[in-house]
C-alpha cells in the first residue's frame, strides 16, 4: 500500500497533484516555492515496472543545479538487496526533497510513501 504524508516545508509545492494509476505515477504541472524564488515543473508520468527476480525501488527526487539555479525531478530505479538494502540519493545536484519512494515486488504489489510538501 502506498501511503501519503503531508510535510510542512520551507521549499513547498503549489498546484501539485500526484496520482497513482494502474501502470504508474502521474504528477501535474506545479511550482516549487522558496522565499522569493519560484521554480516551475512540467507535468510528468512514469511507469512502475516490477522485475521478475527481485524487488525494485523507485525514488523520485527534487534536485537543484546550483550553477544554473534550475530545479528538476530525478527518478532512480534501484534493485533491492535480499536484506532490504538499497542506496539513497547519490547525485551531484543539491537534494531538495525526496518526493516519493515506492517499492514494487515481483508480483507487482506496491508499497511506499508519497510526500506532499506544503507551506
Kindly report, residue by residue over 41-69, the tens digit of the pLDDT.
999 999 999 999 999 999 999 999 999 99
pTM for the complete prediction? 0.94
- Extents of the domains making up the chain: 2-118
Name beta bridge partners: 110. Answer: 104
Look at the domain 2-118 and name its fold. Answer: Immunoglobulin-like (2.60.40)
Mean pLDDT by 10 residues, the chain (119 residues): 96 97 97 97 98 96 96 95 84 96 96 97
- Neighbouring-strand partners of residue 17: none
DSSP E strands: which ranges in the chain? 2-8, 12-14, 18-20, 24-27, 30-34, 37-41, 44-47, 56-65, 70-79, 94-104, 110-118
Alpha-carbon 112 to chain mean position: 11
State the pLDDT at residue 103: 96
Amino acid at each position: 500500500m502506498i501511503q501519503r504524508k503531508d510535510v510542512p516545508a520551507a521549499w513547498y509545492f503549489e498546484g501539485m497533484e500526484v496520482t497513482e494509476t494502474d501502470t504508474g505515477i502521474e504528477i501535474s504541472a506545479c511550482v516549487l516555492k522558496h522565499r522569493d524564488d519560484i521554480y516551475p515543473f512540467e507535468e510528468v508520468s512514469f511507469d512502475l515496472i516490477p522485475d521478475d527476480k527481485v524487488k525494485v525501488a523507485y525514488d523520485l527526487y527534487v534536485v537543484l543545479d546550483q550553477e544554473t539555479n534550475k530545479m528538476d525531478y530525478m527518478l532512480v530505479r534501484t534493485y533491492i538487496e535480499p536484506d532490504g538494502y538499497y542506496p539513497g540519493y547519490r547525485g551531484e545536484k543539491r537534494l531538495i526533497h525526496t518526493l516519493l519512494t515506492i517499492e514494487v515486488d515481483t508480483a507487482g504489489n506496491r508499497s511506499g510513501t508519497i510526500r506532499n510538501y506544503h507551506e
